[in-house]
Chains A and B, each alone.
Chain A
Amino acid sequence: MSKSLEIQNLKINTFGINGQTILDVPYFNLEGERELVISGASGSGKTTFLYAIAGLFLKLNGKVSWNRSNLYNLASVERDKWRSQNLGMIFQNFQLLDELSVLDNILVPTGFDSFFCPKDMIYKAEKLADEFSISIHNSTIAHMSRGEKQRIALARALIKDAPIILADEPTASLDEANARNILEHLRKISEEGDKTLIIVSHDPAVMEQIDNKLLLEHGKIIKNTLPTISNVGAA
């Protein structure tokens, strides 16, 4: 179920007169490896990288291919649909909907497919909330701690059992115990479901556990432990 990812000649510039290149990836390939951790200094382009492979830019220079088909060749409607079906994403700042309840936030992705939320999805959301010690009652999103929000965002990313999980600093706001629990959970789910798990993290614990590492600096890959890149990079 895991997917191959190939990036070719990806270049993302900021808009404006003195538009700068914030991400420049001539080639990158993930072929059969299920886990990847991306690290780098703040502002090095990690989030931008995730957005690019999530198909969140309306358009960009280069190719981002999942299972050999270029995401950016799809019409944006199709790309939205692709995201809905293939992606579980945890945003760096969670991007929860303050207007909704905790449970509804977790259930948002399931509401796209049918008008009424299926019963089993509600059950699943409650189970996820329980696993991540999220209290689904009497709490408003806006009043929650970053750690709580992070876990809700995580539950939302997992609700549809998507084959690709992109997690932007999923443990950054958590205490050590919670961080360990969540990392374990993520890895377990991705292993059991044969998912592709890409995590952006500074967390040494994360770095330690995941073998495949990508290091970004000023929008460029400066270190890649994956075997494929060196071949192509040399070519």
Chain B
Amino acid sequence: MRQTSAAVTNQFDVIIGASGSKTDLLLATAFLQSKSLNLIPTEQMIDILAEDGLDFAAPIAFGDSYKSSPIIGTIAPFINHLSKDKLLEGKIFTTHEHAVIGANVKLKVGDVITPTHGEAMPEDEHHDEDEDEEHHEDEGAHNHEHVGSELTIVGRMQATATAWDNAIIIPIEMMWEIHGLANGHSEANEENIGLPFDNEYLTEASVMVLKPKSIAAAYRLRSEYDEHQTTAFFPAEIMAEFYMLMGDARQILTLMGYIVEALVIISILIGISIMFQLFSRQFAILRALGAPRLYIYLAIWGYIMSIVVVGIISGLLLAYGTSFLINDYIQSRVNISIVTSLSAAEIWMMLMALIIAAILAFFAPLAMMQQSITKQLARG
């Protein structure tokens, strides 16, 4: 998380989106979770692209996927920036049919892929959309030629510690074309790639990442575009908030772990005391009949240990069930796992519960045997 937060703050200098949630925008940019973002109006996009004091202003378009990799459309300078100005292998895209892959994508430079439409996430929705499209094709809707669009992988980026490592990045022109939209260039320059765009042929994007030349420019742009039509911010502002939220969630999970632990120990204690209530006469009968100590001891010990084992197992299931539910929920929203496996603390807690239970199981029979036989017999 900290690693991610640093990566995010360093690599996405100023983020601009349509007015709306900054967190959603950051999630879209860094984690490529583009849940129905609004589009930046073309007018504002043109203004931003015309700004001085910028190394680049990169529009980003989301939408398609290949296998589990999201396909993202943007411009070459941003890829170079993310990849620290040097690709891991290959080269940057130079035509519409080229693609660059993230460091962790399981493809090779030279591979040819045919992306499917829709986001990489939910499987069911995929099918529906695919069917729809096939249907369109049958009717001969030529605008939607993207089922047939083949992309050649020409390069691989260096690791960025963001979701971009799992992404396939294509020229934004291609992304727009795939969706039958104006590709940013006039018909005469149709095959052009990257900046500058022809303003009349520009399509709206959901996010723009800006790389200002100076801190002054960064602050100016941030304030200039943080108005009613657009939202602009430094990732660090949100990251701090975001990180705190995640920290809180993790703390809540830990706390819940402790609560479950306490509940397990309490229910074990209750189980033992119920056992005392229910069975003390039975044990007294056995003692009255002359049962050896070891016999009684093992009988009681067995009872307690079975309660303990049942208690701890159901406690574990309860604790992990709930924490995984919470984790799943968080993950479905931000694609970050905050519970990965059994932590040392949790194992220690379980051990503690077992140790406490074992001590109880050791002493409880002794305590029970100190009770008066005649008194217990009288309970019958």
Q: Which chain A residues have a beta carbon within 8 Å of chain B's beta carbons?
A: 51, 54, 56-58, 77, 80-85, 87, 89, 91, 93, 95-97, 99, 108-109, 111-112, 156
| Most B CB within 10 A of own CB, among A54, A80, A84, A109 | A80
From A57, A58, A82, A108, contact of B289 by CB (8 A): A108
Q: Is there contact, CB below 8 Å, between B289 and A109?
A: yes
Q: Taking A58-B372, A58-B373 as contacts, is the C-beta distance between A97 and B282 under 8 angstroms? A: yes
Q: Which residues of B contact A97 (CB under 8 A)?
A: 282, 285-286
From A81, A95, A99, A111, contact of B377 by CB (8 A): A95
From A89, A96, A111, contact of B288 by CB (8 A): A89
**Does residue B287 face the partner (Cβ distance < 8 Å to A)?**
yes
Residue of B nearest to A48 (CB): B374
**Does residue B84 face the partner (Cβ distance < 8 Å to A)?**
no
Task: Apart from A81-B292, A84-B290, A91-B380, list 18 A-B contacts with CB within 8 A.
Answer: A56-B377, A57-B372, A57-B373, A58-B372, A80-B293, A83-B288, A83-B290, A84-B292, A85-B290, A87-B290, A89-B288, A91-B377, A95-B380, A99-B282, A108-B286, A111-B295, A112-B290, A156-B289
**Does residue B291 face the partner (Cβ distance < 8 Å to A)?**
yes
Q: Is there contact, CB below 8 Å, between A56 and B288?
A: yes
Q: Is there contact, CB below 8 Å, between A80 and B291?
A: yes
From B281, B282, B290, contact of A81 by CB (8 A): B290
Interface residues of B in 155-206 (CB under 8 A from A): none
**Please, how many angstroms separate the alpha-carbon atoms of A89 and B284 in the complex?**
14
Q: Which residues of A contact B374 (CB under 8 A)?
A: 51, 56-57
Q: Which chain B residues have a beta carbon within 8 Å of chain A's beta carbons?
A: 281-282, 285-293, 295, 372-374, 377, 380
Q: Which residues of A contact B285 (CB under 8 A)?
A: 95-97
Q: Which residues of B contact A96 (CB under 8 A)?
A: 285
**Please, how many angstroms separate the alpha-carbon atoms of A108 and B290 in the complex?**
10
How close is A87's CB to chain B, nearest CB, in angstroms?
7
How close is A155's CB to chain B, nearest CB, in angstroms?
13
**Please, how many angstroms separate the alpha-carbon atoms of A91 and B373 in the complex?**
13
**Please, how many angstroms separate the alpha-carbon atoms of A57 and B287 in the complex?**
11
What 8 A-B pairs are tightest by C-beta distance, nearest first? A84-B290, A83-B290, A95-B285, A93-B380, A56-B373, A112-B291, A80-B290, A109-B289
Q: Which residues of A contact B377 (CB under 8 A)?
A: 56, 91, 95
Q: Which residues of B contact A93 (CB under 8 A)?
A: 380
Would you call the interface of chain B mostly helix, strand, loop, or mixed?
A: helix
What are 8 A-B interface contacts by the 8 Å CB criterion?
Answer: A58-B373, A80-B291, A83-B288, A83-B289, A95-B281, A99-B282, A108-B286, A112-B292
Q: Taking A93-B380, A95-B380, A97-B282 as contacts, is the C-beta distance between A112 and B373 under 8 angstroms? A: no
How close is B375's CB to chain A, nearest CB, in angstroms?
9
How close is B376's CB to chain A, nearest CB, in angstroms?
10
Q: Taking A57-B374, A58-B373 as contacts, is the C-beta distance between A112 and B293 under 8 angstroms? A: no
**Please, how many angstroms separate the alpha-carbon atoms of A96 and B288 in the complex?**
12
Q: Which residues of A contact B295 (CB under 8 A)?
A: 111-112
Residue of B nearest to A12 (CB): B374
From B282, B289, B291, contact of A89 by CB (8 A): B289
Residue of A nearest to B372 (CB): A58
Residue of A nearest to B370 (CB): A58
**Please, how many angstroms separate the alpha-carbon atoms of A96 and B289 in the complex?**
11
Q: Which residues of A contact B293 (CB under 8 A)?
A: 77, 80
How close is A29's CB to chain B, nearest CB, in angstroms?
24
**Please, how many angstroms separate the alpha-carbon atoms of A77 and B295 in the complex?**
12
Q: Taking A91-B377, A95-B377, A99-B282 as contacts, is the C-beta distance between A112 and B372 under 8 angstroms? A: no
How close is B378's CB to chain A, nearest CB, in angstroms?
9
Q: Is there contact, CB below 8 Å, between B373 and A109?
A: no
**Please, how many angstroms separate the alpha-carbon atoms of A51 and B287 in the complex?**
13
From A57, A84, A87, A156, contact of B291 by CB (8 A): A84
Residue of A nearest to B282 (CB): A97
**Please, how many angstroms separate the alpha-carbon atoms of A97 and B377 in the complex?**
12
Q: Which residues of B contact A95 (CB under 8 A)?
A: 281, 285, 288, 377, 380
Residue of B nearest to A99 (CB): B282
Q: Which residues of A contact B289 (CB under 8 A)?
A: 83-84, 89, 108-109, 112, 156
How close is B241's CB to chain A, nearest CB, in angstroms?
60
Residue of B nearest to A162 (CB): B290
How close is B295's CB to chain A, nearest CB, in angstroms?
6
Q: Is there contact, CB below 8 Å, between B287 and A80?
A: yes
Q: Is there contact, CB below 8 Å, between A82 and B282?
A: no
Q: Which residues of B contact A83 (CB under 8 A)?
A: 288-290
**Please, how many angstroms separate the alpha-carbon atoms of A91 and B281 in the complex?**
13
